[in-house]
Amino acid sequence: MGRSWNRIGSAQAGQGRLARTFMTTKRCTWVGIDDPLMLQYHDREWGVPVHDDRKHFEFLVLEGAQAGLSWSIVLKKRDGYRRAFSEFDPEKVVRYTEKRIQKLILDPGIIRNRMKIEASVRNARALLAIQEEFGSFDAYCWRFVGGRPKLNRLKTMRDLPATSPESDAFSKDLKRRGFSFVGSTVVYSYMQAVGMVNDHLVDCFRYREIRRLDSVVDGPAAR
């Protein structure tokens, strides 16, 4: 019995240490530890370089859907978007008919905005055209940052930009190629999400982790 209580006490102490470590870990100040989805997104995804075209399309859809709303709302509907947009397979989305679009407008699992839904279908078509021209959407988009993530050194949220010269150029070219809901602000958020720019605050634990990750993972344009 004494040993059992000792083991329980040790386990509880260990959990307490983990909880204290978790609470004291420095993160970007826009992340609230009371929002599990946002916390997980920040700690595991945001700023990690993406080199998969389906993942690129996912973030194009989600960032376009987020326009005018909070990212927290989009994360809560992410599974709904996965289902509604065929696991973000652009070759399937491009075949969506008006009947399918009408069905999506009534789907409570996503943001029911006709313009945003129709834009996602058009963007699938435009993305496939880029794949034909460049071999992959990944090869195309990383050209706007010279093939490697742009490393910013932000100390506070006030330093966080909404756009950049790169997002301006990227946005302009996407629009020229037929994309919608790709203004410079949306595109800059997309670039942050897919790791084209590292905008974690310098005292955030992910800033250095992603910086180290970039030293061993290069995009195709950097090779």
Residues catalogued as catalytic? 41, 63, 71
Task: Give the type of residue at 198.
Answer: N
Cα–Cα distance for residue pair 36/165, rounded to 1 Å: 33
Cα–Cα distance for residue pair 168/159, rounded to 1 Å: 18
DSSP-derived letter for residue 156 is S
Cα–Cα distance for residue pair 89/93, rounded to 1 Å: 6
* Signed CA dihedral, 44, 85, 52, 168: sign only: negative
98-107 contacts at long range (C-beta below 8 A, 24 or more positions apart):
107/80
